[in-house]
Every structure is written in structure tokens, then in C-alpha cells.
């Protein structure tokens, strides 16, 4: 079982504890059709698709509908970005888009966005930025000139 889990607190501080939790959560959820579970005092909402399982986990005091909106936003955003081909291989080939989507949806465990259209739009904008390592020297110099020009005009 391959997993990608982002932890926003110290509930499971060691890798050993995280792996045990991940195994426990998978064992409790992979054979059921429901979308919500309570496990170890946490609220777990989840969705499976082909060979992937998506989980959003919050405290037992979290609103299940809010957690589900995050899960649906993530899944729907990925579905749009991957042209409805949400499966392991496609996701692995587009990990950068996954990380950008998660970054647009949550920050440090705080929900920022729940509209998949907005997430896809923002990921597309961020994806258009060419990383500094892929820019030519001339592009970097031109960009620096533009920034200096605008800072002097202020």
C-alpha cells in the first residue's frame, strides 16, 4: 500500500506511529462503501477510485460536512486536471499538480478553498510560472530589469 499523507500536527509524531495509523485506517475503510468513520478519536472521511484511496481526517469535533467538502474539492479538482483519469499512474505522473491543489485547498490544516473550479484555475496559473532553474539567463536578466524598473517607478 503506497500512501501520501500530509500531517498538520503532532498527533502521530514518529514515522512508526504514522505507518501504524495509516495501516489501521486502511484496514478499517478499504472494504466498506460508507464515506465516514470514527477512528482513534478522529473523524475520517474517505473516497476510493480505481486504485487510489483519498482520506481527509480531522478531530472528533470537526464538522463532517466541512471535511467532506475538502475531500470532494480535492477529488473533483484532480478529476478535472487529469481529465477524469484519476488513477495511480496518472496521479504519479502529475504529483506537482496534486501538491499545488492541496496547497490551494488547505494551508497548515486551515481550509482555504472548497470550489474545485477555483482550485483548477489557480493550479493552472501557478503551473504557467516557469521555475527559475528552467529559465534562460536572458529571461532571468530581463525579469530582474522589469522588477528594478517597477521598483524605481514607485
Residue-number span of the structural domain to which 57 is assigned: 15-153
Q: Cβ–Cβ contacts within 10 Å for residue 29, how many?
A: 20
Residue 154 has pLDDT above 70, yes or no: no
In a domain, 46, yes or no: yes
Please name which of 74, 24, 16 lies closest in space to residue 49, comparing C-alpha atoms.
Answer: 74
Classify residue 105: in a domain, yes or no: yes
Instruction: Using pLDDT thresholds of 50, 70 and 90, give the confidence band for residue 50.
Output: confident
Average pLDDT over residues 42-63: 90
Say if 2 falls within a structural domain: no
Q: Which residue has the cell 496559473?
A: 125
Q: CATH code at 88?
A: 3.30.450.60
> Is residue 23 a part of any domain in this protein?
yes
From CA 26, how far away is CA 82, in angstroms rounded? Answer: 24
Distance CA 82, CA 63 (A): 29
Of 36 and 153, more confident: 36
Query: pTM score, two decimals?
Result: 0.75
Structural contact between residues 55 and 45, judged by C-beta atoms closer than 8 angstroms: yes
DSSP states of 25-61 as a string?
A: HHHHHTT---SEEEETTEEEEEEEETTEEEEEEEETT
Residue of 43, 48, 104, 51 whose CA lies nearest to 73: 104
Residue 10 within a domain: no
Look at 5 and 59; give whichever has higher pLDDT: 59
Q: Is residue 88 part of a domain?
A: yes
Structurally, the chain folds into a number of domains equal to: 1
| Residue 3 counted as domain residue | no
Number of C-beta neighbours around residue 85 at 10 A? 14
- The predicted pLDDT at position 66 comes to 94
Average confidence score pLDDT of the chain: 83
Residue 77 pLDDT grade (very low, low, confident, very high; cuts 50, 70, 90): very high
Amino acid at each position: 500500500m503506497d500512501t501520501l499523507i500530509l500531517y498538520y500536527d503532532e498527533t502521530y509524531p514518529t514515522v512508526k506511529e504514522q505507518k501504524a495509523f495509516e495501516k489501521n485506517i486502511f484496514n478499517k475503510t478499504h472494504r466498506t462503501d460508507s464515506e465516514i468513520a470514527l477512528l482513534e478519536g478522529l473523524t475520517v472521511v474517505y473516497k476510493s477510485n480505481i486504485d487510489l484511496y483519498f482520506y481527509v481526517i480531522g478531530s472528533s469535533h470537526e464538522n463532517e460536512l466541512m471535511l467532506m467538502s475538502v475531500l470532494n474539492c480535492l477529488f473533483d479538482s484532480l478529476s478535472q486536471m487529469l481529465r477524469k483519469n484519476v488513477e495511480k499512474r496518472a496521479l504519479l505522473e502529475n504529483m506537482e499538480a496534486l501538491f499545488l491543489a492541496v496547497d490551494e485547498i488547505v494551508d497548515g490544516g486551515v481550509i482555504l478553498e472548497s470550489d474545485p473550479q477555483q482550485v483548477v484555475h489557480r493550479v493552472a496559473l501557478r503551473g504557467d510560472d516557469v521555475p527559475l532553474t528552467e529559465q534562460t539567463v536572458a529571461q532571468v536578466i530581463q525579469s530582474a530589469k522589469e522588477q528594478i524598473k517597477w521598483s524605481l517607478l514607485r
